[in-house]
Structure 1
Amino acid sequence: MVDTDDAAPGWAAIDAALDQLYPGVEPKHYGTLIKWALGGPDPLDGLSVYPRADHWHFVSYGMSELYAKESDNADESGWGFEFTFRVARTAAESDPPMWAANFLQNLARYVFHSGNPFAPGHHLDLNGPISLAEPDTAIRAIAFADDPELGVIDTPHGRLRFLQIVGLTLDEYSAIERWDAEGLLAAMAPSLPLLVTDLRRGNLSDEPGVATAVEEGARRDGSSTGSLFVQEAGWRTEKSGWARRKLTTTVTIGANAAERIGRVLRARLPFGRGLLIEAQDGSVGFRPGEQVSVTDAGDGFLEIQLPPAVLPELIQVLRPVAGTYHLASAPELVVEIVRSQIRDQEGAVVAEVG
């Protein structure tokens, strides 16, 4: 722990919020030997873990400005949040699970490297089990929500949100993409008190109350998922036909993401909303329109405008089967589905799709 409020006012503000929730409780604290700013591998300067009767409550130190104010944003401290994570605990456990600490450091590393912060309602497919120590767990995705007990506080360096990670099954993740993360978590809350992540639990999206909420919400609201980051997505244009006057655009999608993209397009375009497909080497944006329009917007971004008549055929070809598919309703568009390699959190290939 940091001993002086003057040296680390941001740290002290987090401690004060935790002291209110856990008066007189001394957490287990895990510090970083070499700070990120000094070249260390771990972005988080520390993690405090509080024991509860049925779960461990992890809280990070390092996504916000713990020491001096360095960012130009006076309203928020650092990235604007600290991670929290509630992991189920058995009566026999006296020490918190270290896989959870490593997972938090990995998420922090992603934010620091990419510059993309998380926020309530964001969600992420982990491409495998959340813990490599529990390979059979059904928890293979996450969503983010406000910590139900800590919420948002003010610090000397700006506002700080305690952002809780919530483990999900792939069926629950699919329900989010069709509808909304906050809506799904609210529907699951009666069966998931304090949104605790339990690696032993099964899928909750099939429970009658949850399933009804998802179906009604998706039908009423459509999908709130405005973008998907996928492993493979790209495009190319070619001239063909007599005298090479015909311009054809081929959109390439990885087989692993094809059905997800189709599912979200079905829940976005009819509601007047677009969908951005992002990959490392390029991006493709779909939006509703009155006629087919394909525009190279520069910087590797292709914008496709689709009328309602084209959407059903596009969704039909977006399936995990490698091949080249010509759209009869939009001859200027070709969809190419390529095989996908699924990698675990260590980067090893564990499966191929397509």
Structure 2
Amino acid sequence: MSEVENASGWDAIDAALQNIYGDQEPKHYGTIIPYMLGGPDPLNGISVYEVKEPVAHWHFVTYGFSELYDKESSDPDYSGYGFELTFRLSKPDNEDEPPAWALNLLQNMGRYVFGSGNIFRSGDYMDANGPICQGADTLLTALSFIADPQLPEIETPNGRVEFLQMIGITQEELLAMQVWNTLGVLSAISEHIPLYTTNLLRDSLLSLPAVSEAVRIGSETEGSNTGILYVDQLSWNPSPAGGISKTLTIGAKQAEVVGKLLRGRILKKRNLTLSGPETRIVFEPGEAREVQEQEDSVTIKLDPAAATAIARLLTPVAGTFAVPAWPELIVSIVPTHIKDSEGNIVESIG
């Protein structure tokens, strides 16, 4: 891209990749119609390198989260969003071209960031609510993010750029990251996925005793780093006129993780915030049980016994349950219906 005028940001990314791959010419997939002119793809392009060691894989690198040309953002320290995404995908011997679904996945990440303004950081995770490769028979249904092990942060004329690697993970591994922390889990599984390479055919690594034990010890001793969790199905029903009970409603799909987070946060004297479409529930550790209702949020103060009691009720089984020794609080678990891109229900939980 050096022939393009003012492509200093692009050239800086090229130079970082040349340090690893030398003269290897990547397969590059650019956009035909720029996003700003109505094109469907927000990223300017994606380069893909073929790697043979330590395992055969494709190494995808995006161009477009950072400022590739002139400086436009007001932050002098960071270029654009401050990162580019990378993705390492296992390569079968008979595969000559990188699969299109992986390119689409990275562009979808671009649509999410450009549309929401939310950025990714090392240690983040995201539930894909289905296979990361749509239609594939894989257990990988979520993503996690860590600094690319071979691409350090670079300085460009437009500011700093970090290379964040996206990693496909299972629901079991996602749960472990939520109840402990992403980087701890990734460290525990790193020897089993060289360079954090995604392999659609692999099983959950929590089935390995050493990994499972590392997660157990980490979550019990350190608690959870997840202080805020978005919950799709979340509501609060205050007491009806003359009544005393209040109902906390949570979808079955996320009930289990909320229960585990209550233990990992409240029992470690940390708050837990559940953010839903219409309300926000804040759990706080306290000496006594108390509910404080605000206009658009609710604060629930829990002693250790109450936190443990509620956590035990939060399982992926639909039903309405009274909290032991706290008749004022009801927990309702409602079914979760997972739908495909066309709106068809493909799975029901609870």
Is TM more than 0.5 here?
yes
RMSD between superposed Cα atoms in Å: 1.7
**Range with greater deviation from structure 2 (279-288 or 22-31):** 279-288
Aligned-pair distance for 1:333?
2.1
**Residue 277 (structure 1) aligns with:** 274
Q: Secondary structure at the match of 2:238?
A: strand
Determine if contact 2:179/2:257 at 8 Å carries over to the other structure. no
Determine if contact 1:128/1:345 at 8 Å carries over to the other structure. no
**Residue 229 (structure 2) aligns with:** 228
- Alignment partners' CA distance in 2, 1:167 and 1:235: 34
1:351 aligns with 2:350: no
**Range with greater deviation from structure 2 (281-290 or 254-263):** 281-290
**Residue 149 (structure 1) aligns with:** 150
**Matched-pair identity in %:** 45
1:303 aligns with 2:299: yes
- Alignment partners' CA distance in 1, 2:219 and 2:344: 35
Aligned-pair distance for 1:347?
4.7
Aligned-pair distance for 1:210?
1.4
Aligned-pair distance for 1:328?
3.5
**Residue 342 (structure 1) aligns with:** 338
1:7 aligns with 2:6: yes
* From 60, 81, 104, the counterpart of 2:106: 104
1:29 aligns with 2:28: yes
1:264 aligns with 2:261: yes
Aligned-pair distance for 1:94?
0.7
Q: Deviations over 1:185-233 (max 9, x none)?
A: 1111111110000011112122232122112211211111122222211
**Range with greater deviation from structure 2 (48-57 or 342-351):** 342-351
**Residue 37 (structure 2) aligns with:** 38
Q: Secondary structure at the match of 1:26?
A: coil
Task: Supply the AA of the counterpart residue of 1:266.
Answer: R
Aligned-pair distance for 1:142?
1.3
- Alignment partners' CA distance in 2, 1:151 and 1:302: 42
Determine if contact 1:180/1:224 at 8 Å carries over to the other structure. yes
Aligned-pair distance for 1:289?
1.3
**Residue 58 (structure 2) aligns with:** 56
- Alignment partners' CA distance in 2, 1:325 and 1:7: 63
**Equivalent residues in 2 for 1:102-251, closer than 5 Å:** 102-134=104-136, 136-240=137-241, 244=242, 247-251=244-248
The runs of 5 or more residues in structure 1 that have no matched partner are: none
Q: Secondary structure at the match of 1:224?
A: coil
Change (3 A) 1:209 1:316: closer
- Alignment partners' CA distance in 1, 2:319 and 2:66: 46
Aligned-pair distance for 1:327?
1.9
Q: Deviations over 1:2-38 (max 9, x none)?
A: 633x422211111111111111011000011122222
1:331 aligns with 2:333: no
Task: Supply the AA of the counterpart residue of 1:3.
Answer: E
Task: Supply the AA of the counterpart residue of 1:150.
Answer: L
Determine if contact 1:80/1:161 at 8 Å carries over to the other structure. yes
- Alignment partners' CA distance in 2, 1:229 and 1:123: 12
Task: Supply the AA of the counterpart residue of 2:319.
Answer: G
Determine if contact 2:265/2:271 at 8 Å carries over to the other structure. yes
- Alignment partners' CA distance in 1, 2:10 and 2:299: 44
Determine if contact 1:137/1:199 at 8 Å carries over to the other structure. yes
Q: Deviations over 1:96-153 (max 9, x none)?
A: 011001111111111122221111111122221111242x211111110000000211
**Residue 17 (structure 2) aligns with:** 18
Aligned-pair distance for 1:346?
5.6
- Alignment partners' CA distance in 1, 2:349 and 2:203: 24
- Alignment partners' CA distance in 2, 1:68 and 1:349: 46
Q: Secondary structure at the match of 1:177?
A: helix
Corresponding pairs, count: 347
- Alignment partners' CA distance in 1, 2:341 and 2:299: 32
